[in-house]
Chains A and B, each alone.
Chain A
Amino acid sequence: MRRAALWLIPAMLLAAFPLRAEDRINVVASFSILADFARNAGGARVRVTSLVGPNGDVHVYTPTPADARTIADARLVVVNGLGLEGWLPRLLQSAGSRAPIVTASRGVAPLKFGSETDPHAWQSVVNAKIYIANIRNALVEADPAGADDYRKNADAYLAGLDALDAEVRAAIAKIPPARRKLISMHDAFGYFAKTYGFETIAPLGVSTEAEPGARDIAGIITRIKASGIRAVFPENISDERLIRRISAETGASIGGTLYTDSLTAEKGDAPTYIALVRHNIRTLTSALGE
């Protein structure tokens, strides 16, 4: 029901202010989850383009000339920051864009992973609210005429996120504390784990680029056996074979696919951020719960 209500908001706005497509302002987001945030905060006044599409890997993206053109037309560019989009600064420069850039994660307390910063802040719904606030403020600045709309949209979406946060906490409360351990390919769940009291172990570290050594894999297998972890999780953007091997060797079952850095296409399990979080939490509870 709640989800249906959220869908209605843009529809109602569209009816209230019949804007032609040309009147909308162009917003460019670096990847699909930010694009979803921008769509929700911008409503009918914006046209959002995502540089890295659904099921794409934002860590290792190579921009195309079409991306440069998209950026050149933009009135606002939304990026995650925290070192996620290493390829973006040069693209912005070469596209000659004068659009303001909003770093959606500004104000999030960064987690360190060794010397690297973990960029996956959106995995915690609490942080997603910070993202929305940043994007709303940037939209208001870029298009003051729509200020009221943006505030209204953002408030509605923030209420949805509050409900989602409560939902996640309620679901996790049903998983016994000793089982709140999450093993996936790359360490995308640091913020999620911190907010919701999980422990995470991942062979690849925070970026999908690195390659694990035999010692890392052996270490993970030993830890799984020692602490009786019951399930390991593949992701939508990585090779599954390594996680399957770990599963075969430890007897831990393979939980459903977790979505980390990318939404799925419209028909997939996680076409929006809220659907993504719901899917992940369902996957976790069904694999780790009673």
Chain B
Amino acid sequence: MSFQAALIAPFTEFEFMRRALAAVVALSLGGAPIGVFLMLRRMSLIGDAMAHAILPGAAIGFLLSGLNLFAMTAGGLVAGFAVALLAGVVARSTGLKEDTSIATFYLTSLALGVTIVSIKGSNIDLLHVLFGNILAMDDQTLLLVAINATITMLVLAVIYRPLVIESVDPLFLRTVSGAGAPAHLAFLALVVINLVSGFQALGTLLAVGLMILPAGISRFWSRDVTGMICIAALSAIVSGYAGLVLSFQTHVPSGPAIILVAAVLYLGSVLFGRSGGVVRQMFPAPHLEA
């Protein structure tokens, strides 16, 4: 198999592959910076929790208008925002830590969702139906992913400074400015919209993968936030592309293929990363001497 046939032909030959690639690039550009901030704020697992929190919203959308993707997505967004904001407010205004308050709210939300679904008496696996497959990107879904990525980058540009300062030194920010709380809430909202995008492409279980794994990779190659974000976005795009090719050449489903490629990159970074990789720690570069 020639180089061209293996790596480029799938995309020139099939439109669904081109759409999948476009979706992965959009997801990477939006999700990777979010992942970096989640990592810096030690919230890496929160994405997973939020994935479940959106269920009741999707279920209510389903109750009101049947299997209408728009209604279910909108419902999911509302539920996700509600959980993220409530958890954020509780964590900020009481002594409860963010992880516990998110866990409480998402479990409540999940239980509510399961209840609503079973009251309806239907048992279609809602999330399964709601969140498709990266190989089935229709115009609507692709547009949704692209808009979410655009919003994410614009909003991040606005809240970038307070977000970075707060990630590094929240007490300092609290003394000099009141921007910490609004920036944090806006950030949680961005987490939710990127999750909903991720679901469209990778399903509920793996949606977080394209945010967190690239962030983990970037940590081993850069020490400053801007560098990390660039490396994270780049490695997410590379994983997405390579995962799609892998899925095309083998029978591996696309979502898992993308995450597995990212995992291989992560493993390589853990071993050989320039900043803090295992090999670098065992054989440190000699200090510069005068």
Contact = CB atoms under 8 A, between A and B. Distances in A.
A163 interface: no
Interface in B112-151: 118, 121-125, 128-130, 132-133, 135-138, 141
A241 B16 CA distance: 11
Interface in A29-56: 52-53, 55-56
Given A239-B136, A245-B137, A213 B253 contact: yes
B267 interface: no
A212 interface: yes
Q: Which of B136, B203, B248 counts the most A-chain CB atoms under 10 A from its CB?
A: B136
A244 interface: yes
A56 B244 CA distance: 32
Nearest to A61: B123
Contacts of A242: 132-133, 135-136
A60 B125 contact: yes
A213 B254 contact: yes
A244 B251 contact: no
Contact of B250 (A52, A213, A241): A213
Interface in B262-279: none
A57 B123 contact: yes
B136 A213 contact: no
Given A61-B123, A211-B253, A239-B132, A217 B16 contact: yes
A249 B16 contact: yes
Contacts of B138: 241, 244-245, 248
A221 interface: yes
Interface string B183-209: 000000000000000000001000000
Contacts of A166: none
Interface size class of A (residues with CB under 8 A): 20 to 34
A3 interface: no
B30 interface: no
B127 to A, nearest CB: 11
Q: Which of A53, A215, A249 counts the most B-chain CB atoms under 10 A from its CB?
A: A215
Nearest to B138: A241
Given A239-B129, A241-B138, A245-B16, A53 B250 contact: no
Contacts of A159: none
Interface in B15-73: 15-17, 19-20, 69
Interface string A236-266: 0111011011101100000000000000000
A204 to B, nearest CB: 10
Contacts of B247: 213-215
A216 B248 CA distance: 8
Interface size class of B (residues with CB under 8 A): 35 or more
A201 to B, nearest CB: 15
B172 interface: no
A215 B251 contact: yes
A227 interface: no
A19 interface: no
B15 A211 contact: no
A115 interface: no
Contacts of A216: 251
B124 A55 contact: yes
A34 B14 CA distance: 41
A208 B118 CA distance: 20
Given A218-B10, A245-B135, A212 B253 contact: yes
A266 to B, nearest CB: 13
A215 B250 contact: yes
Contacts of B123: 52-53, 56-57, 61-62
28 contacts: A52-B123, A55-B122, A56-B122, A56-B124, A64-B118, A211-B254, A211-B255, A211-B256, A212-B253, A213-B247, A213-B253, A214-B16, A214-B17, A214-B254, A215-B249, A216-B251, A217-B14, A217-B16, A218-B10, A218-B13, A218-B16, A218-B248, A221-B14, A239-B130, A239-B133, A241-B132, A242-B133, A249-B16
Given A214-B10, A215-B249, 9 more contacts: A210-B253, A211-B253, A214-B135, A217-B14, A221-B14, A241-B69, A242-B136, A245-B136, A248-B15
Interface of A: 52-53, 55-57, 60-62, 64, 208, 210-218, 221, 237-239, 241-242, 244-246, 248-249
